[in-house]
Amino acid sequence: MQPTELPKELAARRIDRPVPLREHVYQAMQELIISRRLAPGQHLVESELAQMLGVSRQPVREALQWLNNEGWVDLRPGYGAFVHQPTPDEADQLLAVRSLLESESARLAATQADEEGIARLRDLNKQGFEALAADDVDTAVALNAAVHRCVTELSGNKVLLDFATQVDRRVRWYYTPIARQRGKQSWQEHAKLIDAIENRDAEAAARIMQEHTERTRKSYLEQRDADGEQEQQLIELPTRRRRRSSPAKG
Amino acid sequence: MQPTELPKELAARRIDRPVPLREHVYQAMQELIISRRLAPGQHLVESELAQMLGVSRQPVREALQWLNNEGWVDLRPGYGAFVHQPTPDEADQLLAVRSLLESESARLAATQADEEGIARLRDLNKQGFEALAADDVDTAVALNAAVHRCVTELSGNKVLLDFATQVDRRVRWYYTPIARQRGKQSWQEHAKLIDAIENRDAEAAARIMQEHTERTRKSYLEQRDADGEQEQQLIELPTRRRRRSSPAKG
DNA sequence: TTCTAGTCGACTGCCTACAGCATACAGTCC
DNA sequence: GGACTGTATGCTGTAGGCAGTCGACTAGAA
């Protein structure tokens, strides 16, 4: 089988290796999944992935475990890994949980944040406006994520941060397309949020964050109804025979 | 090295093996950690665990990954696994997040739950009162967890359920001792909660759940201040030499 | 005594190989 | 012709082993 373009890159990385191979595998596969080049529901055969990425099955297995934790793939013991099927329902549920976690974060941040943290927030938001003005959408999206993350960090609750990070990662799978479309308003809402935090007004901060995230959720729903999924070029993992799916139940 | 008492048990299990070994390893280790026979901060050497449990390193590695996801151990790449150090701070943060997630669950359950689900709740709570009357603390603790889980299931938000389950597992590490002490009041609160859900009063349900869980949190803090940690007999993992800890940073 | 270089060995990360199960296919019996 | 059984083979789970890395210990010098 001729490897896709990835193995050379991996082979290169392999030379300076303080970072475990599984990390690279993890990242490569995450990219493939996010970009939908591996189709939802697709069976991921360890040996094929290993060959494709130029490593053995071991690091692939470990990477698959991580991907499983983070909701990118589903593991069925004895039957291997399958790319997770994102459903509209799940997206909505994720966004709901995100809203919950982040509004609580904002509430806590209003009482916990220090001056330096608030300054950091302001700076990020300023950069966001600038990216917006420069039409630099990628940067704006990244900065948006950074603002939200920063608020959660300022909550001072590490557990909350952990969970919010998890949700955020998964949400972005669905959400990136919309994130690219919400413009100035979003950053104005951030500004208000930061004001509330600075004024130590916990309730206001929580409310603003909730409205802010709920608006995102609504955008998602609208967009979803508006346009269908666009097709993507899938990686055809070459096998002669392939298991159809999970075992017949019962 | 002479294995501890575990390997025979595992060896027996090994005969009827539809379940992967790593599952058994996972459960065995979780038990050892919860019971504090593996000390917080202790370095878990794969080969020793493998020998102790009578399996090879591979299933141990995979079990460690799971344990890591769920917060029981911390993995430091290149340095192995360490039993997670639970701190009072973290416990408090976990309980705070739990409160958040569960009160939202209650809110949603009030609008989403069906008759059958509510009946299930009532039944669990009835059993809880009975266990309490019979002084069967273990059953009462289990039923308490079941009630909370059931509410979260009835929320209809699978993501919320996922996270709540995670939190719950970890919380129980700290929390079991107090859970054993909260008595009748707790079950009366459940009853009120179920009433609110049945009446479709989302706000009341959320409020009751929040107060209920916050009360637990307070109990935890009080208890923590009251008595210190009792010592436990640790498993001495036999090695000649052992790395002290993680590498010197920077 | 304290600092430094060198050596030893423990431990992780990774690879290869094998065993067992599950599926798919082909041939056989009713 | 349809159901059943036997066989080939893909794929996972697990074992075992090798190499590189990092910490601990030791000896020698300042």
Q: A101, B100: Cβ pair inside 8 Å? A: yes
Q: Which among A20, A77, A94 is the nearest to B77, CB-wise? A: A20
The pLDDT of residue A225: 72
> How would DSSP label each residue in B42-99?
-EE-HHHHHHHHTS-HHHHHHHHHHHHHTTSEEEETTTEEEE----HHHHHHHHHHHH
Nearest-neighbour CA in chain B from A98: distance (Å): 10
Please judge whether B101 and A96 are an interchain contact, meaning their C-beta atoms are less than 8 angstroms apart.
no
Please report, rounded to a whole number, the percentage of residues in chain B having pLDDT higher than 70.
80
Please give the residue of chain A at the shortest CA–CA distance from B167: A159
Edge to edge, what strands does the sheet with B43-44 contain?
Answer: B43-44, B80-83, B73-76
Ordered strands of the A80-83 beta sheet: A43-44, A80-83, A73-76
* Helical spans, DSSP H, in A70-201: 88-112, 115-133, 137-154, 158-179, 184-198
Ordered structural domains, chain A, with CATH: 6-83 (1.10.10.10), 88-226 (1.20.120.530)
Nearest to A160 among B69, B97, B159 (CB): B97
**B47 in contact with nucleic chain C (CB within 7 A):** yes
**Residue B178 confidence class, pLDDT cut points 50, 70, 90:** low
Contact at 8 Å (CB) between A58 and A11? no
- The spacing between the Cα labelled CA in A65 and the C1' in C16, in angstroms, equals 21
Q: Does B247 touch chain A (CB under 8 A)?
A: no
Is A93 in Cβ contact with B160 (below 8 Å)? yes
Contact between the CB of B245 and strand C at under 7 Å: no
Shortest CA gap B103–chain A (Å):
11
Compute the half-sphere exposure of residue A186: CA atoms within 13 Å on the CB side of its CA: 23
Is residue A234 over pLDDT 50?
yes
| Nearest CA among B142, B186, B174, B159 for reference residue B105 | B159
Neighboring chain A residues of B69 at a CB cutoff of 8 Å: 69
pLDDT greater at residue B148 or residue B217: B148
Identify all chain A residues contacting B62, using CB atoms and an 8 Å cutoff: 61-62, 65
The rounded mean pLDDT for chain A is 82
Return the pLDDT at A173.
76
HEC per residue, B116-155 = HHHHHHHHHHHHHHHHHHCCCHHHHHHHHHHHHHHHHHHC
| Residue B159 to residue A20, Cβ atoms within 8 A | no
pLDDT in tens, A131-156: 989 988 889 888 999 999 999 999 99
Residue range A86-102, pLDDT digits in tens: 888 888 999 999 999 99
**Which residue of chain B is at minimal alpha-carbon distance from A79?**
B20
* Backbone region of residue A73 per phi and psi (left: phi > 0; alpha: psi in -120 to 50; beta: other values): beta
CB contact under 8 A, A62 and B66: no
Residues 6+ apart with CB under 8 A from B134: none
Which residue's CA shows the smallest distance to C1' of C21?
A: A78
- pLDDT tens for each residue of B57-78: 999 999 999 999 888 999 998 8
Ramachandran sector of residue A96 (left: φ over 0; alpha: ψ -120 to 50; beta: rest): alpha
Q: Yes or no: say if B95 and B220 are a contact pair by the CB < 8 Å rule.
A: yes
The ipTM value here is 0.78
- Give the mean pLDDT of chain B: 82
**Separation between Cα atoms, residue A150 and residue A198, nearest integer Å:** 14
pLDDT for the residue numbered A8: 39
